[in-house]
């Protein structure tokens, strides 16, 4: 079977993680979330862990070189035919790294999925998540910075993949995650 990859695109709070879990369960994709990898790495209380948390806690990106090294090491440690990328690529430089990685991995089919949610709704959700999960980067000041960074650096990544034939855009506004999932599933052609 052809090696497949999904690229989950969307702002912080758009529901990428939730839909990624659905895609994992339904179609057997393995989710790779760079945010999760970083949060795990931060738990190692060494100098690198501290450097990473210093970036994350103020809502800044960690350097491209560092994130791509972590990603490549993680992928090489497991043989995967169906990979779901969540949180990477996040800027133009990372697109180049990503395209090269797909080639190296022999991925023949890429499906970019974009979850669109209006900014006001994103802020509302992230503040709610802050109450529930207590993530260090879900504070009011940091949320604003992350959304701004998303608009300037990451939205161009969406524009890039919007030209792909398999590109799928789903609205995550004003509807529960289950409804978004049903709509998404209906648009996919995976078996």
How much helix, strand and coil, in percent to the nearest 5, is found in the chain?
55, 15, 30
- Phi–psi pair at 95, nearest 5 degrees: -60, -45
| Binds ligand AMP by CB under 6 A, chosen from 12, 15, 112, 172 | 12
Stretch that binds ligand AMP, among 2-10, 76-84, 88-96, 159-167 (CB under 6 A): 88-96
Q: What is the largest CA-CA distance in the chain?
A: 46
| Binds ligand AMP by CB under 6 A, chosen from 9, 32, 53, 90 | 90
| Binds ligand AMP by CB under 6 A, chosen from 56, 70, 102, 107 | 56
**Could you give the C-alpha distances from 27 to 34, 85, 132, in angstroms and in order?**
21, 14, 29
Q: How far apart are CB 148 and ligand AMP at their closest, in Å?
A: 12
- Pick the closer one to ligand AMP by CB: 6 or 137: 137
- Pick the closer one to ligand AMP by CB: 35 or 112: 35
Residue pointed to by tokens 């969540």: 86
DSSP bridge partners of 9: 114
Q: How far apart are CB 83 and ligand AMP at their closest, in Å?
A: 15
- Phi–psi pair at 52, nearest 5 degrees: -65, -45
Q: Which residues contribute to the site for ligand AMP (CB under 6 A)?
A: 12, 34-35, 38, 55-56, 59-62, 67, 87-88, 90, 94, 137, 146
């Amino acid at each position: 079977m052809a090696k497949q990859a999904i690229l989950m695109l969307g702002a912080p709070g758009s529901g990428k993680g939730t839909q990624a879990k659905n895609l994992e369960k339904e179609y057997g994709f393995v989710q790779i979330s760079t945010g999760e990898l970083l949060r795990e790495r931060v738990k190692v209380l060494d100098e690198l862990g501290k450097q990473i948390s210093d970036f994350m806690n103020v809502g800044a990106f960690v350097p491209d070189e560092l994130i791509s090294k972590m990603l490549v090491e993680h992928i090489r440690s497991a043989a995967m035919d169906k990979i779901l990328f969540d949180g990477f690529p996040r800027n133009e430089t990372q697109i180049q790294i990503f395209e090269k990685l797909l080639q190296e991995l022999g991925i023949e089919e890429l499906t970019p999925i974009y979850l669109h949610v209006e900014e006001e709704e994103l802020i509302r959700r992230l503040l709610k998540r802050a109450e529930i999960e207590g993530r260090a980067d879900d504070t009011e000041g940091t949320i604003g910075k992350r959304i701004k960074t998303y608009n300037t650096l990451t939205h161009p990544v969406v524009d890039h993949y919007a030209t792909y034939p398999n590109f799928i855009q789903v609205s995550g506004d004003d509807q529960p995650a289950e409804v978004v999932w049903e709509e998404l599933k209906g648009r996919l052609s995976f078996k």
